[in-house]
Amino acid sequence: MSLPEVSSACRSSSRYARKPDHDLIAACLSGDVTAWDTLIDRYKGLVYMLARRMGLSDADASDVLQEVSLLLVSHLSDLRDVTKLTPWLAITTKREAWRRLRQQEAAITIETIEYDAADEENGLKSKAAGLPTPEESLLALEDQALVRQALSSLPDRCRNLLTLLYCEEPPCSYAETASRLGIAMNSMGPNRLRCLQHLKKTLDAIGF
Amino acid sequence: MKRCPMTFEILLEYCEGALKATTKERVRRHLETGCVYCERQLAWIQRVLSAFQRENPPIPAHVLAPARTLYLDRYVRPESSSPLVQWARLLFDSRTQYTPAFARGEQEPSRHQIYRTDGYEIEIWQEMLPQGECYLIGQVLPRRDHANVIPKEIILSNSAGHTLRITPVASEFHLPSVPAGHYQVQVSLPGVDIRLSEVAVGL
């Protein structure tokens, strides 16, 4: 049975997929380029989307991501003792994004986002009604990174099943998923439940 | 202990809108009782289902290339370029330390040496074997954080042109039977070759 095609966002390709940030950083410091690629892949979406949600265009968000990734290389040895990389990435991304916004003097950003230097550790405050605050966005992005990490570490069968049901655009139906995975329709429910419970166990282990 | 009648599966289908009307109503009335177990399960389910609906940002491939290049330059030396060579100096040799045993003319069956460079310390233990050979055990420790490193290769070579090579699989490396003599030892690490000149083995 050949594996169904799954979206690249959910595919696991690294032996470091189940490793926490601390272990990844240690491996990066030892010169393991696979660890570096895994670390970047884990958080590139978070950095990019955080920059976008601060009001930057796609191109500017890409520039911020590039700058943050360069800063990460430069500061790797300073980060060897951190347990989670998210706080450093969030602060660094916000600084770079804010610097770019100031340069651009984006009117809508100035009106809708209040930057309090004293509260830099807690993030920006958004006045735009109905939109998630940067802190809420950061939490959502972090959840996405953790779920992606946990998903990539599941056994193939569970990873493929959950990917088809929840990650594909548009999501696959029970019938299509059963067909692609070669599972009986009436076993889809129990399989889904078992895989979600497996995912829950993994998420609990990595601090979700 | 869970006393709630609701299962994870029912709560999951409730979140997904997949329950029949009567079951959905039953779950809704149960949730109104403030069941802590259900609240926690629902919160988890909603959080995970939201996280599944991830955004795939259109990040061009070239965006991350500069950082990768910088990383390779700083932490991984390309195979084709020459690694940095560092000559280690002998810091400690148990044979040269005075002990009463030496005064009695006794020979120690083992020997411990420590070599040092700017970035690393290399420890070597020697133990004499019956046939006049030595069992060598060594390890490399970075001086800054003392985390164990696994060398890529260890090479012993003497003036007669004899060479012993091993590829360690752990931070501690073993050379089971090394003939007595003087050797130059080369310890290959990512980006750096450490040389130990005139290591006396079994002498």
Number of H helices, E strands in chain B: 5, 10
User: For residues A152 and B92, which has the higher predicted lDDT (pLDDT)?
Assistant: B92
pLDDT the model gives residue A196: 92
Strand partners, B69: none
Q: Which of chain B's residues have a Cβ under 8 Å away from the Cβ of A196?
A: 8, 12, 48
pLDDT bracket for residue A119 (50, 70, 90): very low
Residues 6+ apart with CB under 8 A from A41: A14
Q: Per CATH, is A14-131 categorized as 1.10.1740.10?
A: yes
- Under an 8 A CB cutoff, do A62 and B63 touch? yes
- Under an 8 A CB cutoff, do A28 and B71 touch? yes
- Under an 8 A CB cutoff, do B66 and A167 touch? no
Task: Tell me what the mean pLDDT of segment A65-85 comes to.
Answer: 88
Answer yes or no: is pLDDT of A53 > 50.
Answer: yes
b/e per residue, A56-92, with b = 16+ CB within 10 A?
A: beeebbbbbbbbbbbbbbeebeebeeeeebbebbbeb
- Under an 8 A CB cutoff, do B71 and A73 touch? yes
Q: Which of A78, A80, A93, A196 to mutate to test the interface with B (most CBs of B within 10 A)?
A: A196
pLDDT the model gives residue A105: 65
Q: What are the domain boundaries of chain A?
A: 14-131, 154-208
pLDDT bracket for residue A114 (50, 70, 90): very low
Query: What part of A 76-105 touches B (C-beta under 8 Å)?
Result: 76, 80
Q: ipTM of this model?
A: 0.70
- Under an 8 A CB cutoff, do A45 and B56 touch? yes
- Start-end of H helices in chain A: 21-29, 33-53, 58-75, 86-104, 107-112, 134-152, 156-162, 174-181, 188-205
Summarize pLDDT for A124-135 with one digit per residue, the tens: 444 444 556 667
Task: Name the residue facing B75 among A7, A28, A147 (closest C-beta).
Answer: A28
pLDDT the model gives residue B56: 64
pLDDT the model gives residue B62: 86
Task: Tell me what the mean pLDDT of segment A44-70 comes to.
Answer: 90
CATH for B84-201 (2.40.30, 2.30.30, 3.40.50, 2.60.40): 2.60.40
Q: In this structure, how many other beta carbons lie within 10 angstroms of the beta carbon of residue B108?
A: 15
Q: Which of chain A's residues have a Cβ under 8 Å away from the Cβ of B147?
A: 26
C-alpha distances in Å from residue B130, one per residue of A33, B18, B162, B173: 45, 77, 21, 21
Q: Which of chain B's residues have a Cβ under 8 Å away from the Cβ of A72?
A: 67
Lowest mean pLDDT among A106-110, A152-156, B129-133, B150-154: A106-110
Q: In this structure, how many other beta carbons lie within 10 angstroms of the beta carbon of residue A6?
A: 19
> Mean pLDDT in each 10-residue stretch from start to end of chain B (203 residues)?
78 88 92 91 90 74 87 73 78 71 59 88 90 90 77 89 87 89 90 87 83
Q: Per CATH, is A154-208 categorized as 1.10.10?
A: yes
- Under an 8 A CB cutoff, do B68 and A37 touch? yes
Does the model's pTM come out above 0.80?
no
Q: Let me know the angle formed at the C-alpha of B56 by B53 and B58, rounded to the nearest 5 degrees.
A: 160
Answer yes or no: is pLDDT of A12 > 90.
Answer: no
- B156 close to B145: Cβ distance less than 8 angstroms: no
Please tell me the distance from the alpha carbon of residue A16 to that of residue A35, in angstroms, as a whole number: 6
- B188 close to B154: Cβ distance less than 8 angstroms: yes
- Under an 8 A CB cutoff, do A44 and B64 touch? yes
C-alpha distances in Å from residue A157, one per residue of A152, A168, A183, B49: 11, 16, 10, 19
A194 CB near a chain B CB, below 8 Å? no
pLDDT the model gives residue A93: 93
pLDDT bracket for residue A112 (50, 70, 90): very low
For B119-153, the DSSP string reads SEEEEEEEEE-TTSEEEEEEEEEETTT------SE
- B19 close to B13: Cβ distance less than 8 angstroms: yes
Task: Tell me what the mean pLDDT of segment A87-94 comes to.
Answer: 91
Please tell me the distance from the alpha carbon of residue A72 to that of residue A30, in angstroms, as a whole number: 15
- Under an 8 A CB cutoff, do A26 and B147 touch? yes
Q: In this structure, how many other beta carbons lie within 10 angstroms of the beta carbon of residue A185?
A: 11
3-state SS assignment for residue B182: strand
pLDDT the model gives residue B3: 67
- Under an 8 A CB cutoff, do A72 and B67 touch? yes
